Amino acid sequence: APGAQQFIPPQADTIDELRAAATGCQGCELYRDASQTVFGRGDESARLVLVGEQPGDMEDQKGLPFVGPAGRLLRRAVDDAGIDPGHLYLTNAVKHFRFELRGKRRIHQTPDRVHITACRPWLVAEFARLHPEVVVVLGATAAKALLGPAFRVTRQRGELLPWPASAQHPEDFTRVPVDNAGRVVDAPAARLLATIHPSAVLRADDQDKAYEGLVADLTVVARALA
């Protein structure tokens, strides 16, 4: 797969310009079956950036991230944690909906490593234009995109980690130092916290307990931002 890099205009200064360019991305095969690119949205000067997996069915139809059931749950958790919902930026590791057709139903499929890698230039380009103090990684896919394949959310969830960290992985996932125009990511002292994905809460046997865990992790973030 050629990846997203060639679709990113080096002269794009703003998230809006990136979003416009991303509508035409064909960096991997996911653009073919999905309805549209779902780019990040929110406050470009946000102190908090949350990174999910990929758009779901509803997001694919509306063209906006986190507008479906998982998004609703996430917004409730953010609110319950005491985080100001007006000052967030929300995005995903992969910008097209990956699904399998079963009859008329579109069933979510987790993106593969190739999709994460192909789409990662958009995420890097977003971070080059954002200035978060805290980055929240929601689930394994976002963790793979930002921290590499060895990171285990289950082992390190709820911990505030330094980010971008120094390189620990041969593929250098842990550093997001420059975008394709050579701009250094302006987040030298940011921190990162990994937690479960809101969809995992919806799938959990004990939803209340899973939800409480998500809120507890986000409360750590709220305190860090206070």
Binding region for ligand SF4 (CB under 6 A): 4, 22, 25-28, 30-31, 37, 94-96, 115, 118-119, 122
Q: Which is nearer to ligand SF4, 26 or 180 (CB)?
A: 26
- Walk across the sheet containing 160-162 and list its strands: 41-42, 88-92, 48-52, 134-138, 191-195, 160-162
Residues contacting residue 217 through CB under 8 Å, at least 6 positions apart: 157, 158, 193, 195, 196
Four-residue CA torsion sign, 95, 101, 107, 110:
negative
Is position 111 an interface residue for ligand URA (rule: CB under 6 A)?
Answer: no
Contact criterion met (CB below 8 Å) for 157 and 195: yes
Is position 56 an interface residue for ligand URA (rule: CB under 6 A)?
Answer: yes
Structure tokens at 176: 């997001």
Backbone angles phi, psi at 197, to 5 degrees: -80, 140
Q: Which helix (H) or strand (E) holds 39?
A: none
Contact criterion met (CB below 8 Å) for 137 and 191: no
Which one of ligand URA, ligand SF4, none interacts with residue 92, CB within 5 to 8 A by kind? Answer: ligand URA
Span near ligand URA by CB under 6 A; candidates 42-50, 62-70, 187-195, 216-224: 62-70
Which one of ligand URA, ligand SF4, none interacts with residue 27, CB within 5 to 8 A by kind? Answer: ligand SF4
Q: Which is nearer to ligand URA, 70 or 146 (CB)?
A: 70
Which one of ligand SF4, ligand URA, none interacts with residue 195, CB within 5 to 8 A by kind? Answer: none
| Residue choice 31, 66, 151, 211 for contact with ligand URA (CB under 6 A) | 66
Is position 40 an interface residue for ligand URA (rule: CB under 6 A)?
Answer: no
CB of 110 to ligand SF4, least distance (A): 13
